[in-house]
Amino acid sequence: MSTNPVVLIVGGGAAGIELATRLGKREDLDVVLVDRDASHFWKPRLHELAAGLLGDGEEAVPFLAHGHSHGYRFVPGALLRVDAERKTVRLDAVRLAQDDETILPPRELHYDVLVLAFGSRVNDFGTPGVLEYCDMLDSPAQAIALRRRILALALRTAGDPSKRIRVGIVGAGATGVELAAELHHAFNDMHRYGGLDSASKLDITLMDMAPRVLPAVDPRTSETARRVLERMGVTVRVGVGVNAVEHGVFDLKDGSRIECDIQVWAAGVVGHDFVSDLGPFELSKDRRIVVDGTLAARGVAAIYAMGDCAYAPASAEGGIVPPTAQAARQQAEYLAHALPRALRGERVEPFAYRSKGTLVSLGVRQATGEVPSGGKGHGVIPMRGWVAKLLYVSLQFMHRVTLHGWPRAVALWMADGLRNTTLPPVKLH
């Protein structure tokens, strides 16, 4: 049995699986990854899965096989409790989804170092009716369920010009904007390859209480996204919040009502509900675990947090790390170097987040975004069109490189190209 320190990583999202992949190569650590799901899916592509531009399992990375190839162990199960004094975590039982048969009983796992990377969930802001009536995009299962509802509506209304498909999306950040654009693209592909009605039958309303779409980016980037969406026929309603959600209706705070066949909530993120009872952690107002400059949980020994579940300082100058995929990747790379040094008792430099810009997909051949200018004024250079789209696609490619290495990442890219020449780009099932 190995006597190496056990590094237990809870959460196999972008941050967790990249950290496990990097640390799994070391012979002086016993790396264990825990996740409630059996495979990893890169969250920035959930809107493509929901729109039908990805099929079930196409981008899934099975933890068992990946861990076997990259030197870490995978243990399935949902996290219930952290005992910081005994250095153990409690996992829930694992059951078959079909008949609720127990596969694995509740268990305890020991750790020497614990890294929490279990992400976040969509923030409903306490709005009545959101959880009851809205689809969300927190997981592949939710995205697949949304895709099937959309396809069912497309089939049900096909050929009837009197019936429209009304989609309401709350949240004009990256997820909401990308979903609106990809749905427009997907419906045109349904028409081209499946004989269903085109996007001309689609009524999409994108809503946000912020004064513009993509409120966190440069106004020029925001304006580009708005113009592209409106050319697609998307109705943009900004500067107005949602008062309540009913079945088939968004009740807005200005007194108007948006009737919808599909209701999607994509407005911000918040920590999972279970975090409040997870262990002796200091939490932010949005239920994220407060960490110091080295990503160590405040007041608790040998526990770190990263990704969306962490409330982390961006640098010594101030600011908070945003809950984005690029931030999670930077934190995983940082801990891959910092944890072995900390275990050896060496000094560790604090984490410093460096924004590499923002890119938002607006369909198959275009995107918008911005990259840092590199100047002293911290300005940005707006980008649009196919160049921005090329950079956007490269982010997914580099994630694959981290997980699989260059040869397999290139092979997967070539396989994607071959598949697209023989199969419809939209999934009609």
384: left (phi over 0), alpha (psi -120 to 50) or beta: beta
Task: Give the model confidence (pLDDT) of 354-397 as tens digits.
Answer: 999 999 999 888 999 999 987 655 688 999 999 999 999 999 99
Strand order across the 262-265 sheet: 235-238, 202-208, 165-170, 262-265
> What token pair was written down for 323?
């809950």
CA 362 to CA 366: how far, in whole Å? 5
Closest CA to 129 of 237, 273, 250: 250
Query: DSSP letter at 38?
Result: S
User: What are the φ and ψ backbone dihedral angles of 341, each rounded to 5 degrees?
Assistant: -65, -40
Task: Give the model confidence (pLDDT) of 190-244 as tens digits.
Answer: 999 999 999 999 999 999 999 999 999 999 999 999 999 999 999 999 999 999 9
State yes or no: pLDDT of 427 exceeds 90.
no
Q: Which of 51-60, 72-81, 105-114, 298-307 has the lowest mean pLDDT?
A: 51-60
pLDDT at residue number 376: 59
Listed in order, the ranges of the chain carrying CATH 3.50.50.60 are 6-120+271-343, 124-268
CA angle 214, 218, 219 (to 5 degrees): 75
Using DSSP's 3-state secondary structure scheme, residue 79 falls into: strand
Fold (CATH) for 6-120+271-343:
FAD/NAD(P)-binding domain (3.50.50)
Domain 124-268: CATH superfamily is FAD/NAD(P)-binding domain (3.50.50.60)
Which residues touch 294 (CB under 8 Å, ≥6 apart)? 304, 338, 342, 348, 350, 351
> What token pair was written down for 365?
């051949």
Query: DSSP letter at 296?
Result: B
DSSP 136-171: --SSHHHHHHHHHHHHHHHHHHTT-TT--EEEEEE-
Contact 123, 269 (CB under 8 A): yes
Which residues touch 56 (CB under 8 Å, ≥6 apart)? 140, 144
* CB atoms closer than 10 angstroms to residue 19: 31
Contact 112, 5 (CB under 8 A): yes
What's the whole-number mean pLDDT along residues 283-295?
A: 97
Strands (E), 189-305: 202-208, 235-238, 242-246, 249-252, 257-259, 262-265, 269-270, 289-290, 303-305
* CB atoms closer than 10 angstroms to residue 384: 19
CA 42 to CA 45: how far, in whole Å? 6
pLDDT at residue number 379: 82
Using DSSP's 3-state secondary structure scheme, residue 408 falls into: helix
Contact 211, 239 (CB under 8 A): yes
pLDDT at residue number 364: 82
* CB atoms closer than 10 angstroms to residue 174: 23
